[in-house]
Amino acid sequence: MKRDFLNISDLTREEIYKIIEYAIDLKKDKFKDQSLKGKSIGLIFMKQSTRTRVSFEVGIYQMGGQPLYISGITTQLSRNEDIKDTARVLSRYLDGIVIRTYSHNEVEELAKYGSIPVINALTDYLHPCQVLADLQTIYERFGKIEGLKLAYIGDGNNMANTWLIAGGLMGLNITVATPEGYEPNGKAVKEALDLAKNTGANIEIINDPEEAVKDADILYTDVWVSMGQEDTEDRKKAFKNFRIDKSLVKKASNNAIVMHCLPAHKGEEITEEVFEEFADVIFEEAENRLHSQKALMSFLFNSLV
């Protein structure tokens, strides 16, 4: 039976740890896994990308497969062809689909009607591939995930939604601090709280960044304006006190790290000073997109992990 990866909770906690451990192995030997030899993986991109596109293309190549980049505007999807028809056609050509788009419902429909694995490479609701790489980074830095505290500061966007769910699943305490009116999606909050009943994770949504970072091991942020959103002065005013700067970092745990999913708008959600201080973590996090996604593809397309 095929497996899809649309949400971080499509994997169990045990499967995530297994994928992370395998990703660390692949980091040491980039050509170790050749399980995609003879396979073609379609990369459907309706949104612009740097890290997601390059990491998937390179990863598929390193695993012996053929990455096929498909720009959304060049397909019949741009002329309103049914998602379910596209899914049934591509399933006859490809061995897997990676899609980066706006609507999460479209990705769910693609997975429903496709007979091959589908990976969500970002929607407006969730960004599970990024968080999978972030979990690897945290595990490498701390030697554990469960019991740590991550403070997410900024917009309650797809990253905040995914972190909440990941926290509930992995036993990672999550506090999200956003301006009033910019809180995460209620559906994601509910899923996180339901998952936390089994792991004991503490899940909080507040509006005070200084309160959020108390005792935090990880400070995390993202841009204030995501793709497809309007960059307005009202939004910038709302977020002006939700910037990770040196004074906010000092209020966290002594050995806290700062993470950013990139691209960064330095001077907005994070200062240049803090970004450069934690650049080694941030770019390790970016590199781990490659390794964790290779381990994920090996798991989904071949069940070899």
Three-state SS annotation for 186-198: HHHHHHHHHHHHH
In the residue annotation, 127 being an active-site residue is answered as yes
Is the preceding omega at residue 128 within 30 degrees of 0, hence cis?
no
- The tens digit of pLDDT for each residue in 120-157 reads 999 999 999 999 999 999 999 999 999 999 999 999 99
In the residue annotation, 235 being an active-site residue is answered as no
> 130, 155, 291, 293: which one is catalytic?
130
Confidence of residue 233 (pLDDT cuts 50, 70, 90): confident
Mean pLDDT for 216-233 is 84
The two three-digit tokens of residue 300, written as one number: 């989904």
Residue 305: its pLDDT value, please?
A: 47
Do 166 and 150 touch, CB atoms closer than 8 A? no
- Structural domains of the chain, ranges and CATH numbers in brackets: 8-126+288-300 (3.40.50.1370), 130-285 (3.40.50.1370)
Q: Which helix (H) or strand (E) covers residue 226, if one does? A: none
In the residue annotation, 129 being an active-site residue is answered as no
Q: What pTM was estimated for this model as a whole?
A: 0.96
Cα gap 28→147, rounded to integer Å: 28
> 127, 243, 260, 291: which one is catalytic?
127
For residue 245, give the amino acid letter: D
> 100, 243, 260, 291: which one is catalytic?
100
Residue 227: its pLDDT value, please?
A: 64
Residue 228: its pLDDT value, please?
A: 63
Residue with tokens 């999606």: 185
For residue 305, give the amino acid letter: V
In the residue annotation, 48 being an active-site residue is answered as no
- Flag whether pLDDT at 304 surpasses 60: no
> 62, 95, 222, 293: which one is catalytic?
222
Q: What are phi and psi of 46, to 5 degrees?
A: -95, -15
- The tens digit of pLDDT for each residue in 106-125 reads 999 999 999 999 999 999 99
Mean pLDDT of the chain: 94
In the residue annotation, 79 being an active-site residue is answered as no
In the residue annotation, 100 being an active-site residue is answered as yes
